[in-house]
Structure formats: structure tokens, C-alpha cells
A and B are shown apart, each in its own frame.
Chain A
Amino acid sequence: MKTLFKMVIWDLKIQARNQIITVALIIAAVYTAIFFLLGLRGNDKILIALIFSDPTFMGFIFTGVLVLFEKSSNTLQALVVTPVKSWQYFYSKAISLTIISLIVCFAMIFASHGFRFNYFYFLSATFLSSLLFIFLGFIGVAKIKTFNQYIIVIPLFIAPFSLPYLNFFGLTNSPWLYLFPTQASFFLFEGSFCKITSFEIIYSFGYIILAIGVTHYFANRLFKKYIIRGE
């Protein structure tokens, strides 16, 4: 655990040097500015829709970018011949990116909404959505070699996971969209501002944790196969 803790600190330093933290903060500032400029203060739906995209889509993109940075500088090759374990590398990235995501999301909600919301649901929604998309990011980037290739992959992952926006905005009420774990993310974010049903609570926590378990399994396998062993 001591090694993991130190790795998280170093990962945050590396992400800062690679301007990932700067980009994340700029995006948060732009979102907040848009929110105010469009006079949307008090419109929790739009706020959730904006905040949702940060731990999810940004988490996916940043994970890919970080791994591609490491692939291009061959640092993974150097890391795998040290006593560091693949899970430590894997979780260090996940934890450090989640920390950034939490800071950015809380900054956005404090700036746009104030301090009166359900912290438990907001923290859960941000934390779990972030983990899910970081693992998806590892899956997405596993076989990718260049940023250009990754740009093509991003919409292939993001588009299907965006479908629950339809239910969220009331355009549809399809139970099929509950198959996408982002539906669970939306319920948890909504729980930060209003009451959600017992079914929605159980479904959200149960399904997103299940989805994190499944994506973690595949991310770990693909990471070892394509990123570490380079098959």
C-alpha cells in the first residue's frame, strides 16, 4: 500500500507536468462559464449533464492519453522490470485520475450550485463513474498505438454510453437503457439534488459496481496482454 500511495503521488506529479490537470481545470472553468453565461443557474438537469461528462468522458480520454504518453516514451517497458506489480500501476492511474475528477467535479458544483446538495450521492456518482470510465479507457487504449487511432476509438466507446442522456432528459423512458451503467451514474447524480426511489438506489449502486468489476477484469487482462507483454 505504501508503494501504491507513493505511485499515486508521482502519477499526480507526472499528470501535472503533462498538463493533464491544467486541461481538466480549464474544461471545468469553461463548463462553469457556459453555465453562467447561458443563465442556467438553478437548472440542475443541465448542471448534471455537464458534470456527468467530466468523470466519464474526460476520464476515458485522459486514461488513454496517459497510457499513450507512456507507450510512446517506452516507460512501461522500464516499469515492468521493477518489483512494481501491474495492479499497483493500474490502480495508481485509476486513483490519481479519480482524485483529479473529484476535485474538478466538486469545484464545478460549488461554483455553479453552491453547497446545498447530497454530498454522499455526489461523491458516489463521481467516484464510481470515474472508476468505470478509467477502466473503459484502459480497454479502449490497449491495442492503440497513436493519438490519431485513439481519436477514432473515443466515439465508439462514448456514443453508446451516452444513450442514457435520452432517458435523463425525458426524451425516452426505455428500460433498455438501464443496460448501460451510465444510466446508474445519472440516477446517482440526480440523487445529489433530489430524492430518488429505493429501486433506483439499489439498481444504481448494484449495477455500476457490477460494471466496474466487469470492466476492471477486462481492462486488467487487456492491459497485461497488449500493454505489458505487447502481444
Chain B
Amino acid sequence: MIEVKNLVYRYPKNKGATVKDISFSIDKGEIFGFLGPSGAGKSTTQKILIKLLTNYLGEITILGHNHKKSDSGYFNQIGVCFELPNHYLKLTALENLKYFAEFYRQKPVDFIPLLERVGLAKDADTKVEKFSKGMKMRLNFVRSVMHNPDILFLDEPTSGMDPVNARKIKDIILEQKQLGKTVFITTHNMHDADELCDRIAFIVEGELKIIDSPKNIKQMGGKRVVQVEYENGIIESQEFLMEGLADNLDFLDILRKNHIRSIHSKEASLEDIFIQVTGKNLLSHENIV
């Protein structure tokens, strides 16, 4: 569906390249997460894929076509949800959708069910200038899916949303995958990436450090131990190796004689592995010392 080979991009005013010889491919029906701190090159890569930036080196094939040669018809096949709201503030939510729908081959018959899905149906006739950031972001998202595109490019799709509305958006993203749509997500939200993505790429300073499933990535740095927290007059905790756990007498003894508060496997989080692999924190440019 998306094939990127040896992609290099340098902004005209910069000395060095922002994207440095990266390669990856995304299959149809896959949710692919691009994770990295600000300035890592993830937005630049997305801008190239959505044709906002064109003077790149390398080869990109999307939907079987050479990306450099694809015309404006390409935009009928993609939906883009930007990180920041971008609506005509003096138009209502419904008018904004109707205006943008004019440009697409496949226009939605009815916009209200779409707005209903993200909790905006009752605000359909409200001017967008009166919306909160979260409402504008939900409208951004509706606009990106309303023309039934084959590929979705989502930049921080749950940014500025409360957990309930973020859940609605994540459910729709997973539905889109079920419908065979390909989803490219750029984010630094590890929880969203872990929950939604089939595969994740870590990008730092323009280079791809790792591409794998969240599960495999988390196993790379996790300790194969379980931590048991229990009450024995006082609250105590102890770690046990997973190997031979069923025959570990100390572990079984604790289970039999104490009130168990919790038992957790100590797998690493995506953030732990990100720091381990890249030496960077996702939310800043700073190196982790």
C-alpha cells in the first residue's frame, strides 16, 4: 500500500537533512505508528506522504503509483487529520464539512451520522469559532474520513480530547482498519500507539531506529519477572522469575499465607524501550543521561 525506500529530505534553509535515508512499508489494512519527539522528522515524513513537500530523494510508491507522478486525484484516496484544528471559524460545523465535501468524488450523503459518532450532532449548526479545541479536533477527524479514503494520515488524532471522546475516535480508527483502510499515525502518545498500532517505527533525528509490533518491542527490554504485592501486617512486595514460577515454593508460599493485593508482570512500556533504544525522551529533545 505504502512503500518508502531510502527517503531523504532537506529543507531548503537547513544545512543537514531532516529525514535521513529511511525505508519502510505499510500493508493494506495496517495501522502504522510513527513515534518520535518533536523535530524528529515524523511530521516531515507525513508532509512528504501527503504531498505538502515534494523535493525529496528516494522512492515512494503509494497505492501502486510513483508518488512523484501522482496528481490531485491522489487526494480523493487519502484523508488527513492535522494536529491542529483548521476550519473556517465563521462557518458552522456542517457548513465546514459541506464545503470540503465539494472537492471529493465520493461525497457523504448525510453528515449528521458522522457528527453523531463523535458527539457533535447537536452542534452541527454552531459556528466553529464557538467550539473548544477538542470539538474542533473531532471535526478535523470527521473531515478526514467523510469521503471514505483508502489511506488515513492522522497526526496526534486524540490531541486535546477528554478520555471519553478520545475513546470514540480510537474506536472509529479501529473500525477503519476492519474496513481494510490503511492508517498512518504520527504521535508521541505511547498509550494510543500501543493500543492502536499493528506496527510502530521509532524515529529520532531523522533516522528510523526500530520497526516492529508494540508487543515485540515491549518484550525487547522487559524483565521476565512478576511482582507480587501482599499484606502481612504491613504491605510488602517481592519479584519472582517467570521461569519455573509454578514450582517456586517461595512464590506459592506467599500466595497461600498472605492477602494478595496485586500481581503484575514487569514488561517494559513502549516509552521505556524508546528511551532505551534512542536515548531520548519522547516529550523533549533532551538526551536521557
Contact = CB atoms under 8 A, between A and B. Distances in A.
Interface of A: 3, 6-7, 10, 13-14, 17-18, 73-75, 77-85, 228-229, 231
Contacts of A14: 88, 90-91
A77 B46 CA distance: 13
26 contacts: A3-B103, A6-B102, A10-B102, A13-B91, A13-B95, A14-B91, A17-B90, A74-B84, A77-B52, A77-B86, A78-B80, A78-B86, A79-B100, A81-B50, A81-B51, A81-B78, A82-B75, A82-B104, A83-B73, A83-B76, A83-B103, A83-B104, A83-B105, A85-B72, A229-B53, A231-B12
Name the residue among A75, A78, A84 with the largest chain B CB count within 10 angstroms. Answer: A78
Interface of B: 12-13, 50-53, 72-73, 75-76, 78, 80, 82, 84-91, 95, 99-100, 102-105, 143
A10 B76 contact: no
A78 B86 CA distance: 6
Contact of B100 (A78, A85, A228, A231): A78
Nearest to B143: A78
If over half of B's interface residues share one DSSP class (helix, strand or loop), that class is named, otherwise mixed; here it is: loop
Contacts of A7: 102
A10 B88 CA distance: 11
Contact of B82 (A3, A6, A77): A77
A21 B95 CA distance: 19
Contact of A10 (B13, B78, B99): B99
Given A85-B72, A231-B12, A75 B104 contact: no
Contacts of A81: 50-52, 75, 78, 80
**10 nearest interchain CB pairs?**
A74-B86, A17-B90, A78-B86, A82-B103, A81-B80, A83-B75, A84-B103, A83-B72, A6-B102, A83-B103
Contacts of B84: 74
B90 A229 contact: no
Contact of A73 (B13, B76, B87, B104): B87
A189 B102 CA distance: 38
A8 to B, nearest CB: 11
Contact of A229 (B52, B73, B85, B99): B52
Given A75-B88, A77-B86, A83-B72, 17 more contacts: A3-B103, A6-B102, A7-B102, A14-B90, A17-B90, A73-B87, A74-B85, A75-B86, A75-B87, A77-B82, A78-B80, A78-B143, A82-B75, A83-B75, A83-B76, A83-B105, A229-B52
Nearest to B74: A83
A6 B73 CA distance: 18
Contacts of A79: 100
A17 B90 CA distance: 6
A92 to B, nearest CB: 11
A14 B84 CA distance: 21
A18 B129 CA distance: 12
Contacts of B50: 81
A17 B102 CA distance: 19
Contacts of B86: 73-75, 77-78
Contact of A82 (B13, B90, B100): B100
Contacts of B103: 3, 82-84
A83 B107 CA distance: 12
Contacts of B53: 229
B277 to A, nearest CB: 32
A139 B12 CA distance: 21
A78 B99 CA distance: 12
Contacts of B12: 231
A83 B86 CA distance: 17
Contact of A18 (B80, B90, B95, B102): B90
A82 B149 CA distance: 11
A3 B102 contact: yes
Contacts of B102: 3, 6-7, 10
B86 to A, nearest CB: 4
B88 A73 contact: yes
Contact of A78 (B73, B82, B89, B91): B82
Contacts of A228: 52
A17 B50 CA distance: 30
Contact of A80 (B52, B76, B91, B105): B52
A74 B96 CA distance: 13
A15 to B, nearest CB: 10
